[in-house]
């Protein structure tokens, strides 16, 4: 029998009103940055703080399934850009003709302009065959990795670093560029860099592509309610 005593939780920290407001301000002013990156490199200590925030994300069964591939090489980023352009042409053709020109005018990536790209991956084998919390929903590891992405994004915004999420690519084109094994899933491809200017609201809303939904329309009580 183990003589170790069970750990006990500590009293929860209470945050001040100014601390709470700072968090809400960071959330409200987070943007998906596409073409506003400056060429200045991110200081190593700043990048470390951002990655530590990402690594502190909650994960199912404490599996911490993520890895962060830092991509600075110009040739590799050029290859990723080519993969994006191929997929972007395919994507544009899927929209109605009357929206294709508007789509083409949107700047949807900063792969070569941003000084740093990060591919956030999910190791689907981490933790073994049975992982606490994944027994009935195996995709929880992917959701955990998305939590790490959001932590990274908010920490970057607090540091004055812009982040853009590039989602338009065929995974089969990106995998060989990054030499990913089969059991490693791509969750996010991010562009990071300093920014001077940001839109005062989501860029797609500012450019008239879509509007921001009202919170009241998204909240339901107890069960799904037809809208």
Q: What is the radius of gyration, based on Cα positions, of the chain?
A: 20
Q: Dump the DSSP string for 99-154.
A: HHHHHHHS----TTTSSEEEEEEEETTTT-S--TT-SS-TTHHHHHHHHHHHHHHH
Ordered by start, the domain boundaries in the chain are 33-202
DSSP state of 46: H
pTM for the whole thing?
0.94
Please list the pLDDT of the chain residue by residue as tens digits (227 residues). Answer: 455 678 899 999 999 999 999 999 999 999 999 878 999 999 999 999 999 999 999 999 999 999 999 999 999 999 999 999 999 999 999 999 999 999 999 999 999 999 999 999 999 999 999 999 999 999 999 999 999 999 999 999 999 999 999 999 999 999 999 999 999 999 999 999 999 989 999 999 999 999 999 999 999 999 999 87
CATH superfamily of the 33-202 domain:
NADH Oxidase (3.40.109.10)
Cα angle at 123 between 179 and 89, to 5 degrees? Answer: 55
Kindly report the backbone phi and psi dihedral angles of residue 115, in degrees, each rounded to the nearest multiple of 5, phi listed first: -70, -15
């Amino acid at each position: 029998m183990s003589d170790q005593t069970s750990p006990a939780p500590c009293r929860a920290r209470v945050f001040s009103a100014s601390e709470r407001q700072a968090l809400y301000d960071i959330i409200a002013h987070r943007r998906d940055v596409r073409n506003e990156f400056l060429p200045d490199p991110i200081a190593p200590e700043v990048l470390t703080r951002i990655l530590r925030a990402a690594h502190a994300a909650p994960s199912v069964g404490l599996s911490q399934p993520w890895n962060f591939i830092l991509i600075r090489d110009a040739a590799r980023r050029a290859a990723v850009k080519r993969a994006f352009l191929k997929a972007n042409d395919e994507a544009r053709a899927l929209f109605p003709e009357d929206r294709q020109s508007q789509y083409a005018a949107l700047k949807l990536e900063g792969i070569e302009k941003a000084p740093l790209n990060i591919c956030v991956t999910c190791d689907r084998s981490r933790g073994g065959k049975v992982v606490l919390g994944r027994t009935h929903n195996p995709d929880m590891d992917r959701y955990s990795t998305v939590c790490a992405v959001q932590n990274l994004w908010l920490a970057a915004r607090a540091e004055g670093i812009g982040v853009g999420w590039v989602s338009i690519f065929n995974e089969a084109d990106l995998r060989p560029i990054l030499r990913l094994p089969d059991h490693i899933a791509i969750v996010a491809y991010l562009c990071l860099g300093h920014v001077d200017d940001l839109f005062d609201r989501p860029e797609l809303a500012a450019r008239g592509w879509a509007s921001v939904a009202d919170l009241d329309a998204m909240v339901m009580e107890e069960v799904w309610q037809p809208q």
